[in-house]
Chain A
Amino acid sequence: MTARGGRPRLSRRAWFAAASGTAATGLVMTRWDALKATPQDPSTPPPDPTRVPGRFVSEVGSRAPGEQPRRLVRSLALSSSSRTPLQDLHGTITPSDLHFERHHAGVPEIAAEHHELLVHGMVERPMVFRMADLRRYPQTSRICFIECSGNGGGAYNRERMPAAITPQQLDGLVSTSEWAGVMLSTILREVGVRPGASWILAEGSDAAVMSRSVPLDKALDDAMLAYVQNGEAIRPEQGYPVRLLLPGWEGNAQVKWLRRIEVTDRPSMTRDETSRYTDPLKDGTARQFSFVMDAKSIITFPSYPYVLPDRGWWEIEGLAWSGRGRIVRVEVSTDRGRSWTDAVLQPPILSKSTVRFRHLWNWNGREVVILSRATDETGYVQPTVHQLWEARGERTAYHQNHQRAWKIASDGAVTFGLGDLL
């Protein structure tokens, strides 16, 4: 019953349940879908590839035919998003073509040789930089996640708590890459920031001219003008030819297709930092400039729509991350949150990056709800949904980083389990 690699195969019914709603229903196969077609009869050897010469070299590689993870596209619209298949990936780096997307007016077509970045405002020397200029400055790199601050909002409403939802559907607006570029502090040093400056306005060259205000301290701390993603030029969907990278902060502020930086002494109060990306609270106020992504984790296996075919040893695994620094601990509960055990953190464990956690578990075959909770280096522990409801109210938006749960039924079927804990 168990597929190669110790993993269960998707039941056909569960697979179609998961695939419905994608743009390519029925055509997309995951590694799990492919494995289920492999006969497991030990008396019959598998096909023998040693009797035929292999194919030749190629200019660009491709995935194995049976390994075709896909982003999830809900609707085709200018202002839209696609989600990373968290349950199909390993390690922490997101393949660039599977990095989540969130655009406010589509992906602009930009030729790098024509792109310019204007830096002006409260500076000594207003300047225009072409990409060739930016690439000539000393380069730095770091691995970090980018997450949309709306990620996970689908599991916050008490009345609409889902059961049939995959990690991709719920939390696929987070991805991790190795980014490289020039530190923004280097460019701000070049133009000379005037005394009294305290913010910047970052503006993109998409059709929404997406703009966000960012405190100057962040700009001078670890902000980067990133033009490299996982060893090659940044992808158009992630901001080609250059984007603002603000490690640990909400994705919307990390303006893509960056064309202008204005140094100012106050926030500009753009549409996406006032009527969007602000968090209504239960006391009638709304939290503004809520940049940092707090610590969070999600078990990606077992998760919906997998079906555990038998009891026994399984390795629970998932991802944890914090915008405030390193993840120092991830705990897993296999008894509805009554008791917790430290999971193993799989290297690398990097600040403001995703870390993969694993927990070896012997399932006794009875119905169970499993959870994970992350702790970061500030001592912040990923809260329960009840704690967030208490702090912010049940109708807030964004930053819904509460603990996720999965219910494993006695027949092995896995569903999202938070509703079972309410």
Chain B
Amino acid sequence: MRPVATVAATLAAVLAACSPEEEPVRSDAVEEPGVPALPAQAPEHFGFGAPASPERVALWDIDVKPDGEGLPPGSGTVAEGRQVYEIHCMQCHGPTGTEGPNDRLVSAGAWDQWPAGRTVGGYWPYATTLFDYTRKAMPQATPGTLSDDQVYAVVGYVLHLSGIVAADAVMDSASLAEVEMPARDRFVPDDRMGGPDIR
């Protein structure tokens, strides 16, 4: 079991949620007597499981971090992205990303209306997330089938439709990580703490 104070302090520090003098005890750190700790005689290591080689890790470690870490080699242009979009994406997201029937990617109105639709320009804080999600989960019927170049291209096209990158933009690991999303600074840490306050 972790000490309550550690949980509270670390979460608060990580989330930078509140100033130290008014930091309440986080109630999700309440001790849970129903959960037993590891038995006292437990060894330092059980040895069950197998070491994972760097190659084995690389096979599955394909996520992309918000600073661009994990972005693969390759590149794609907005023009190429339009072709990818029209073949693989348009039937669900519409000719301009605003029509659906599935999630609207592009805001029909100004992105600064609030609360925004959860569109790329209006609500997504990181362009890297768009790459990560598209590469893993899209197209919905054949997820994971686009090449990295195709993902760079179609991400660039959706960013262009959203008014975020120019028509001649080329997306790669460097340029994608540098994209500043309009919604970047909208997100704040959770300040609900339990206790009498309704937040």
Contacts and interface: CB of A to CB of B under 8 A. Distances in A.
B114 A215 contact: no
A268 interface: yes
B115 A208 contact: no
B86 interface: no
Interface residues of A, number: 92
B136 A209 contact: yes
Interface stretch (A60-68, A94-102, A137-145): A137-145
Contacts of A222: 32, 35
A275 B158 CA distance: 15
Interface in A95-152: 104-105, 118-120, 125-130, 133-134, 136-138, 140, 142
B137 interface: yes
A269 B125 contact: yes
B87 interface: no
A291 B45 contact: no
Contacts of A324: 27-28, 30, 194
Contacts of A249: 28
Interface string B108-146: 000000111010100111101110110011001001100
A292 B196 CA distance: 15
A130 B39 CA distance: 22
B168 to A, nearest CB: 27
Given A262-B63, A285-B186, A388-B198, A292 B51 contact: no
Contacts of B20: none
Given A126-B57, A138-B38, A183-B38, A221 B29 contact: yes
B199 to A, nearest CB: 5
Interface of B: 1-2, 6-7, 10-11, 14-15, 27-30, 32, 34-36, 38-39, 42, 44-46, 48-52, 56-57, 60-61, 63-66, 114-116, 118, 120, 123-126, 128-130, 132-133, 136-137, 140, 143-144, 183, 186-196, 198-199
8 contacts: A127-B51, A198-B14, A217-B11, A268-B63, A271-B137, A274-B125, A276-B118, A391-B198
